[in-house]
Amino acid sequence: MASRDDVDAISGFVETYQVGGFEHIIDEGGVIWERYGVFSQPAFAFINDDGTVETKIGAVGREGLIEAAEALKAT
């Protein structure tokens, strides 16, 4: 989820890095980032069934994403 930039810059990023194969959301006011404690990218917010959130700032890599998904699945 992009934030802290204008739509043209975000669109340029999507085009430059060829990541247009999925939906992109723009948090123009930074409200969603603030809600989940995100202050920079990359960041990941993992939300459990009970609504608890664990936010990780920084790259987690493929294995980190798999571990986080497995941990969520196990609860």
Sorted by where each begins, the domain ranges of the chain are 1-35, 38-75
pLDDT of residue 5: 85
Q: What backbone phi and psi angles, to 5 degrees, belong to 6?
A: -90, 165
pLDDT of residue 2: 85
- Cα separation, 40 vs 43, whole angstroms: 7
Q: What is the pLDDT of residues 27-70, one digit of tens each?
A: 988 999 999 999 988 899 999 889 999 999 999 999 999 999 89
Question: Global pTM?
Answer: 0.71
